[in-house]
Amino acid sequence: MSQTILVLGATGIAGRELVKLLTAENVTVKAATRTPEKYAVKGATAVRLVQEDASTFAPALNGVDKVFLSALPLDVDAPAKLIPFIDVAQKAGVKKIVFLSAIGAELDENFPLRKIERAVQASGIAYNIVRPNFFMENFSEGPFSGAVKAQGQIIAPAEDAKVSMISTEDIAAVSARLLLDDTLSGKELALTGPAAITHEEAAQTITALGGKPVQYIAVSENDLINAMTSHGAPESAANYLAGLFRNVRAGHAAVVNNHVEAFAGRPARSFEYFAQANRQHFQ
């Protein structure tokens, strides 16, 4: 049965991997982006969607059967943008939403992503929620990549806490399965990598396998916030990230499960695999 899937965050680290998988399955993919004129991925059709502009929602949702829903990174205002989107999706006849949340989101009813989870659950639309741990790609392309490349440093307020970091390849693989298999609707899955490691161990692995000498610099929350804001990040985003690391230090990000293997049909990518596969990003 033919179906059309709208992927929010199609240019993001996780969204682009999902687009690859869905187009390989010959699914009709609409890739949501602020600048569709700059988007060129074989098999996907770019559509304009700006989360701050609700007038872009209905046109993007036209003819869409299912949605991969994701917020902008570290966006404390995400509920004000995406809850109205969910309402428009319901009116447009969307049959399923797979929402990209974050590990532990369900533990704090005031957390922005939890508020969106609640809206998805209450929408009447069939849904899945995926709650991945920290992305491995944060070191190669995400918020920590700049310091890794320029200074050879991973700078984070993580102390020596362990994190079961996950590759976005695995997030995409599980999300694709959930989007395509309607028998799995209603499942809410925490997604982890195959092992919990410290940031020091991550630095050692990138040094050994990624071809880039890297050291871990443990800092305080205030140091992180000051560094981010001094480089132009909104204070709200800096506080958001600092809060996530509070959970890391409390041990909430060290859990390991086998959901990737169970739903993607293969073992989760190891950090060693990630470091080798992304050598070009560390140079």
Max Cα-Cα span within the chain = 53
> Tell me: the pLDDT tens digits for 13-52?
999 999 999 999 989 999 999 999 999 999 999 999 999 9
- Edge-first strand order for the sheet with 44-48 is 44-48, 28-33, 4-7, 66-70, 96-100, 126-132, 188-191
> Tell me: the pLDDT tens digits for 205-255?
999 999 999 999 999 999 999 988 988 889 999 999 999 999 999 999 999
The CA distances from residue 149 to 143, 207, 220, 283, in Å, are: 11, 12, 21, 6
pLDDT number for residue 227: 87
Q: Is the pLDDT of residue 1 over 70?
A: no
DSSP type of residue 185:
T
Mark 24-42 as b/e (b = at least 16 C-beta within 10 Å).
eeebbbbbbbeebeebebe
**Mean pLDDT value of segment 134-154:** 94
Looking at every residue in the chain, the average pLDDT score rounds to 96
Does 135-165+192-254+265-283 match 4-132 at the fold level?
A: no
Question: Considering the entire predicted model, what is its pTM?
Answer: 0.96
Give the domain ranges of the chain: 4-132, 135-165+192-254+265-283
pLDDT number for residue 156: 95
pLDDT number for residue 231: 83
CATH of domain 4-132: 3.40.50.720
Tokens of 49: 């969607």
pLDDT number for residue 2: 66
| Best CA proximity match to 248, nearest among 199, 201, 206, 205 | 199
**Mean pLDDT value of segment 75-102:** 98
pLDDT grade for 266, boundaries at 50, 70 and 90 = very high
Alpha-helical (H) ranges within 181-278 are 199-209, 221-230, 235-249, 259-264, 271-277
Q: Phi/psi at 224 (nearest 5 deg)?
A: -65, -50
Q: Is the pLDDT of residue 275 over 70?
A: yes
Residue 2, judged by CB atoms within 10 A of its CB (0-12, 13-18, 19+), counts as exposed
| Best CA proximity match to 177, nearest among 42, 68, 274, 102 | 68
**Mean pLDDT value of segment 162-190:** 97
Superfamily of domain 135-165+192-254+265-283: UDP-galactose 4-epimerase, domain 1 (3.90.25.10)
**Percent over 70 (pLDDT), the chain:** 99
